[in-house]
C-alpha cells in the first residue's frame, strides 16, 4: 500500500479533547483491514492513493439496530427537522442512558486548539464535518470536506467503512433501504465562471467532480454515481423512490434513487448553495441565488409552482438556509442588508403558505456583523413551534408556527447555524463557540451548557435514546449523553 497522502484516523472512546496532529490526506490503517479493502488497494491505483476501507467486524449487533430509525430520507430525517428518536424501557441500558465516544476524520485538528491558519472558514471548508450526521439501523453516517463519507458503529464510534468522493461532502447522508445517498461539491468559482459573473452573465458554481453517489449501506461499495456541471452541496430529498436536489448550475434535478437515472431537470436559473430541499404538498422547496428567490417546484412535472423573494437580500442569504415544513407551512431564513453601517446585516425568518407562496408572517432579528461563510441558520419545527437561531446576533428564538408570535429569546452570544433537537421539553442547540446549550422550551431558560470545543456550523444534532450525536467543523463526531449537557459535566 502506498504511503502517499496517508493519515491515520484517530478514534477513541472519551477522547474529545485529545491533542492530535493535523497532516494531509487520508486516514485509518489497521491490522484488521478487511480482505476486500486490501485487494482493492493492491489492484486499483486510485484506491492506493485514496483507499476506501471496510471493516465488517465493526458492524453493530442485532440487539441494538432495531432501536434506531430504519431510514433517513431528508435532511434532519423529517420535514420539520427534529431528528429525535426515543427508545423504550426494554432497550439496552447504554441506549437509554447514553454512550460516549469521539471520532476524528481525515485531517481533524484538536478540539481544544485553534482553527487552521486561525480562520474558522478555512477550517470548515478544508477538514470540517459541517452539516451533521445521519443514523439508521445502528450505523451513523457523516461526510467531511476532505471528500469522505464515513459509516460508524453508533454505539462504539468504530469505523465500519469509508468512501472517497473526489470533492467536498457537505451533505447529510440519506438512507433508503440498502442504499446510502451522498452528494459532493464545493463553494468556489473557477476563473472562467468568475469572469462570467463580472460580465453580468449567468455563471456556474463548483469546479471539480460534482456527484450524487449511491453506496451500499453496510459496505460503502459504490452502486451508482450521477454527475452535474455544478456543485451538489445540498442534501437531496428522497420521496417515493426519487431524489430531488438543486445544484450550482442553476437546475433542480429529479433522479431515480434505485438506478441513478435522470427523470427530469428544471432550469430555475438560480444556483443553489446549501439549501437542502424539503418536500410537502406535492412540491419541493428550496432557496436559490442570482437571482435570489425561494422556489416551489412540482414533484411530478418539475414546473416551478411559485417563487418569492424579499428586498435587500445579501449574497447567498436565502440560498444557504435549509427550509423546514409542517402543517402546510414552509419556513425559511434569509439575510438582508440592515442599513446600519456598523451592523450591516440582519436575519429574517419567513413563513410561507406551501400552496401559494404567500408570506404568512415574517420576523426580523437583530442587526449585526456579516457572518463568515453561511449566513443563515436551519429552522426546526416541533409541536407547532418554530425554533430558529441567528448567526448574526447569536440569539435563539421560538415562534408560534401559525401566527409568528415570538414566544421567547435566549442569548447564546455566538453565531448559531444549526437547528435544534427537542426532547422532553428541552432544546439542544450546538453553536459556533463549540458549546451545546440545553434550553427549556416553555420559557427559553438556559438549563445547562456543555463545552465540546472546536466549532459547530449548520450541524444539527441527532438524539437516539439518551445520546446526542453531533459533528464539528474541526473534523470530529461526538456522542454525548444528554445528562452531561444539562448539567455541564465533563465528557468521561
pLDDT digits (tens, 9 = 90+) for 218-263: 999 999 999 999 999 999 999 999 999 999 999 999 999 999 999 9
Q: Would you say residue 83 has pLDDT above 50?
A: yes
Strand order in the sheet with 329-337: 324-326, 329-337, 345-353, 359-368
Confidence of residue 50 (pLDDT cuts 50, 70, 90): low
Report d(CA 119, CA 62) in Å as an integer. Answer: 43
Q: Would you say residue 387 has pLDDT above 70?
A: yes
Please report the pLDDT score of residue 17 as a whole number: 33
Report d(CA 231, CA 438) in Å as an integer. Answer: 35
Confidence of residue 197 (pLDDT cuts 50, 70, 90): confident
Please report the pLDDT score of residue 33 as a whole number: 36
Q: Would you say residue 285 has pLDDT above 90?
A: yes
Per-position b or e across 67-103, b if 16+ CB within 10 A of its CB? bbbeebbbbbbbbbbbbbbebeeebeebbbebbbbbb
Quick one: 440 exposed, middle or buried, by C-beta within 10 A (0-12, 13-18, 19+)?
Answer: middle
Report d(CA 394, CA 457) in Å as an integer. Answer: 13
Please report the pLDDT score of residue 167 as a whole number: 96
pLDDT digits (tens, 9 = 90+) for 4-16: 333 333 333 333 3
- Residue spans of the domains in the chain: they are 11-68+75-487
9-23, 48-62, 438-452: range with highest mean pLDDT: 438-452
Confidence of residue 489 (pLDDT cuts 50, 70, 90): low
Peptide bond into 291 cis (omega under 30): yes
In Å, what is the CA distance from 115 to each residue of 120, 135, 447, 477, 479?
Answer: 6, 28, 28, 16, 21
Task: Return the CATH superfamily for domain 11-68+75-487.
Answer: YVTN repeat-like/Quinoprotein amine dehydrogenase (2.130.10.10)
Q: Would you say residue 23 has pLDDT above 50?
A: no
Confidence of residue 45 (pLDDT cuts 50, 70, 90): low
Q: Residue 297 in contact with residue 252, Cβ under 8 Å?
A: yes
Sign of CA dihedral 341, 342, 343, 345: positive
Confidence of residue 34 (pLDDT cuts 50, 70, 90): very low
Q: Rounded mean pLDDT of the chain?
A: 89
Report d(CA 147, CA 229) in Å as an integer. Answer: 18
Please report the pLDDT score of residue 396 as a whole number: 98
Per-position b or e across 216-252, b if 16+ CB within 10 A of its CB? bbbbbeebbebebebbbbbbbbbbeebbbbbbbbbbb
The three cell numbers locating residue 459: 450541524
Q: Compare 388 and 488 and report the one with higher pLDDT.
A: 388
pLDDT digits (tens, 9 = 90+) for 163-190: 999 999 999 999 999 999 999 999 999 9
Please report the pLDDT score of residue 178 as a whole number: 97
Q: Residue 157 in contact with residue 167, Cβ under 8 Å?
A: no
Q: For 18-22, 126-130, 400-404, which range has the lowest pLDDT when averaged over its residues?
A: 18-22
Confidence of residue 487 (pLDDT cuts 50, 70, 90): confident
Please report the pLDDT score of residue 44 as a whole number: 56
Q: β-strands 462-464, 84-85: how paired?
A: parallel
Q: Compare 160 and 17 and report the one with higher pLDDT.
A: 160
The three cell numbers locating residue 431: 453553536
DSSP characters for 254-316? EEETTT--EEEEEE-SSB-SS---EEETTEEEEEEBTTTEEEEEETTT--EEEEE--TTB-TT
Amino acid at each position: 500500500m502506498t504511503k502517499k497522502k496517508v493519515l491515520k484516523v484517530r478514534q477513541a472512546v472519551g477522547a474529545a479533547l485529545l491533542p492530535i496532529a493535523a497532516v494531509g490526506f487520508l486516514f485509518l490503517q489497521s491490522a484488521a483491514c478487511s480482505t476486500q479493502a486490501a485487494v482493492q488497494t493492491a489492484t486499483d491505483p486510485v484506491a492506493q492513493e485514496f483507499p476506501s476501507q471496510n471493516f465488517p467486524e465493526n458492524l453493530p449487533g442485532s440487539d441494538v439496530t432495531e432501536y434506531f430509525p430504519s431510514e433517513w430520507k431528508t435532511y434532519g430525517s423529517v420535514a420539520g427537522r427534529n431528528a429525535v428518536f426515543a427508545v423504550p424501557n426494554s432497550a439496552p441500558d447504554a441506549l437509554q442512558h447514553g454512550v460516549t465516544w469521539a471520532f476524528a476524520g481525515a485531517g481533524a485538528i484538536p478540539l481544544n486548539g485553534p482553527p487552521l491558519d486561525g480562520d474558522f472558514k478555512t477550517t470548515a471548508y478544508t477538514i470540517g464535518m459541517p452539516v451533521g450526521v445521519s443514523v439508521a439501523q445502528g450505523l451513523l453516517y457523516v461526510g467531511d470536506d476532505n471528500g469522505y463519507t464515513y459509516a460508524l458503529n453508533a454505539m462504539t464510534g468504530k469505523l465500519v467503512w469509508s468512501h472517497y468522493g473526489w470533492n467536498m461532502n457537505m451533505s447529510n447522508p440519506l438512507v433508503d433501504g440498502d442504499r446510502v445517498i451522498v452528494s459532493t461539491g464545493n463553494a468556489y468559482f473557477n476563473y472562467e465562471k468568475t469572469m462570467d459573473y463580472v460580465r453580468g452573465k449567468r455563471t456556474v458554481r463548483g469546479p471539480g467532480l460534482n456527484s450524487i453517489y449511491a453506496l451500499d449501506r453496510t459496505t460503502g461499495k459504490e452502486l451508482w454515481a450521477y454527475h452535474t456541471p455544478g456543485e451538489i452541496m445540498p442534501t437531496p430529498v428522497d420521496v417515493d423512490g426519487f431524489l430531488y436536489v438543486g445544484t450550482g448550475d442553476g437546475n433542480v434535478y429529479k433522479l431515480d434513487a434505485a438506478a441513478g437515472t435522470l427523470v427530469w431537470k428544471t432550469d430555475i436559473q438560480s444556483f443553489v448553495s446549501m439549501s437542502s430541499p424539503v418536500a410537502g404538498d406535492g412540491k419541493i422547496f428550496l432557496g436559490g441565488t442570482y437571482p435570489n428567490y425561494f422556489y416551489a417546484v412540482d414533484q411530478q412535472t418539475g414546473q416551478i409552482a411559485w417563487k418569492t423573494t424579499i428586498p435587500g437580500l445579501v449574497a447567498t442569504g436565502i440560498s444557504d438556509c435549509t427550509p423546514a415544513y409542517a402543517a402546510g407551512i414552509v419556513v425559511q431564513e434569509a439575510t438582508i442588508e440592515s442599513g446600519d453601517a456598523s451592523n450591516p446585516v440582519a436575519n429574517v425568518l419567513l413563513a410561507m403558505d406551501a400552496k401559494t407562496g404567500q408570506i404568512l408572517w415574517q420576523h426580523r432579528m437583530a442587526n449585526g456583523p456579516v457572518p463568515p461563510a453561511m449566513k443563515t441558520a436551519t429552522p426546526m419545527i416541533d409541536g407547532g413551534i418554530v425554533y430558529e437561531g441567528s448567526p448574526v446576533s447569536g440569539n435563539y428564538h421560538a415562534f408560534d408556527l401559525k401566527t409568528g408570535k415570538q414566544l421567547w429569546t435566549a442569548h447564546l452570544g455566538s453565531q448559531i447555524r444549526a437547528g435544534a433537537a427537542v426532547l422532553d421539553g428541552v432544546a439542544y442547540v450546538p453553536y459556533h463557540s463549540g458549546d451545546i446549550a440545553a434550553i427549556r422550551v416553555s420559557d427559553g431558560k438556559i438549563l445547562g451548557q456543555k463545552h465540546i470545543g472546536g466549532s459547530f456550523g449548520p450541524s444539527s444534532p441527532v438524539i437516539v435514546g439518551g445520546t446526542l450525536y453531533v459533528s464539528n467543523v474541526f473534523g470530529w463526531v461526538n456522542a454525548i449523553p444528554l445528562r452531561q449537557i444539562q448539567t455541564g459535566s465533563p465528557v468521561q
